[in-house]
Amino acid sequence: MSFGNETTRRARTQPFLRSLTRHARVPLRAFEEASDQANGELVRLNMGPFRPYLVTHPDHVQHVLKTNQPNYIRAGMFWDPLSPLLGTGILSDGAGWSASRSILQPVFTARYVDSLTERMAEIVTDLIDTVVVPGRPIDVADTISALVHPTIVRLFLGATISDADIERLAPAYDTGVTARSIRLLLPFVPQRFPLPGDSAFRQAIRTIDEVVYPRIRYAKARGRHANDLVSLLCQARAGETDAERLIRDDMVAIHGAATETSVTALTWVWPALDAHPEIAAKVYEEIERVVGPGPVTMAHLPRLAYLRMFVDELVRLYPPGWILPRTVVEADTIGGVRIPAGSTVVLSPFLTQRLPEFWDRPLEFDPERFAAGNGRGRHRYAYFPFAAGPHSCLGPRLFQMEALLLIAGILSRYRPVLHADGPVLPRLASTLRPGTGLSMTLVPTRSG
């Protein structure tokens, strides 16, 4: 692999549409095939009128996310359809993003996240009591969503939000992030041309706004008494022109960034335990030893070292944000390949985190990779489930707390029995969910 001063050349183009057709049932395979053939080189994927550049080598990932980051913006076909939902703040780019980042980054400190954890533990424990139906098959994704979504909403939008409002938000977000998926396949259709899904998308935004704006006004009126996110943002933006809309944009964007990703990651826990009984046994043993019959509290979390490694490995093989698209501002050269201005480059934690050049036995699920000292010598950009550089995720610590609380909370009381006919494969969507309709039964470990 070369990288640096050699003469520039055009990228090799791969007939990607053809391989998508061949792998119609599991389209992700077409991406894996493209990555195998690219072997770390920058290649161009021929998708008919749309020909993005696929970036997999960690040196190139570093170039896009960090070294020359301002040249690779979040705009274009993947981002524009969602901009009416996400607004002009933390999930946009340019001045609006920068202003939001400078407010939010100091908020999401380890100290702040830790201050939420005890409350999060209580919420998760209560929810496990109400949501889990023991001894009967339950839909994995629905159950995890019913645990994660209200937890995040209560932490971000305040403890006094009503159950009815929480219930309205979940489906509205779901519609918000999925209704315009068709535009991803038809990127050349201008935004102003109506397509199916547009009116559901607009209705979802109305519903979200009907819940979020009153919470902002409530937090403003109440003043400096709470440490939920909406109150902190109201304090940070006090006196700013258009403050309510700016707070709304960040609340909605962060909620979206926090829930869909967490639900996806935590849905993979169950097929991973099912497929690796010897690893599952270690997870169960640790939880039994540290948490016992529960409830799990913040004090248990530092001692759940193996579970932490399990979660790190989970988001290596199944990173929820599996694809990170960027638009190129000015022509650039990466790894000797010329990239014209206006092109789309696509980074993929899913592909990079499986490259054999950087990962020993890349397809094997092995939490020990993340044991202390085992990552020595690993390329910093061979693992980026939470992105990296100026746009890096603000939520890794919050996610880690939430994951440990939720998994240990469930497994301190139940053993999962998965109902699947064969290996569970990832389904290609905006995040990398397991194939639809996955169910399991949670069997109580203790009677009474």
Distances (CA, A) of 376 to 110, 350, 357, 369, 373: 24, 21, 15, 10, 6
DSSP 8-state class, residue 346 = E
CB 306 within 8 A of CB 283: yes
Applying CB under 6 A, does 399 fall inside the site for ligand HEM? yes
Residues 6+ apart with CB under 8 A from 329: 70, 71, 72, 73, 341
> CA 394, CA 83: separation in Å to the nearest integer?
20
> Encoding tokens for residue 236?
């940070």
Applying CB under 6 A, does 269 fall inside the site for ligand HEM? no
Residues 6+ apart with CB under 8 A from 196: 182
Applying CB under 6 A, does 315 fall inside the site for ligand HEM? yes
Indicate the residue among 30 and 233 with the shorter CB distance to ligand HEM.
233
Instruction: Give how many residues touch ligand HEM by CB under 6 A.
Output: 25
Find the binder of ligand HEM among 71, 261, 344, 352 (CB under 6 A): 261
| 234 annotated as belonging to a binding site for a ligand | no
| Closest approach of ligand HEM to the CB of residue 385, in Å | 5
**Interface stretch with ligand HEM, choices 162-170, 178-186, 380-388, 438-446 (CB under 6 A):** 380-388
For CA atoms 272, 277, 282, 284, the dihedral sign is positive
Q: x/- binding map, residues 270-309, to ligand HEM, per CB under 6 A?
A: ----------------------------------------
**Interface stretch with ligand HEM, choices 200-208, 235-243, 273-281, 382-390 (CB under 6 A):** 382-390
CB 333 within 8 A of CB 327: no
**In the bound complex, which residue of the shown chain has the CB atom lying closest to ligand HEM?**
395
> CA 422, CA 27: separation in Å to the nearest integer?
18
**Interface stretch with ligand HEM, choices 198-206, 300-308, 360-368, 384-392 (CB under 6 A):** 384-392
Transcribe 382-411 into DSSP letters: G--TT--GGG--S-HHHHHHHHHHHHHHHH
Indicate the residue among 143 and 262 with the shorter CB distance to ligand HEM.
262
Applying CB under 6 A, does 397 fall inside the site for ligand HEM? no
Distances (CA, A) of 139 to 63, 176, 411, 418, 435: 41, 22, 17, 10, 12
Indicate the residue among 234 and 388 with the shorter CB distance to ligand HEM.
388
Greatest CA separation for the chain: 72
| Closest approach of ligand HEM to the CB of residue 96, in Å | 11
| Closest approach of ligand HEM to the CB of residue 282, in Å | 22
Contact positions toward ligand HEM, by CB under 6 A? 74, 90-91, 101, 108, 254, 257-258, 261-262, 265, 315, 319-321, 324, 385-387, 391, 393-395, 398-399
Annotated binding site for heme: 393
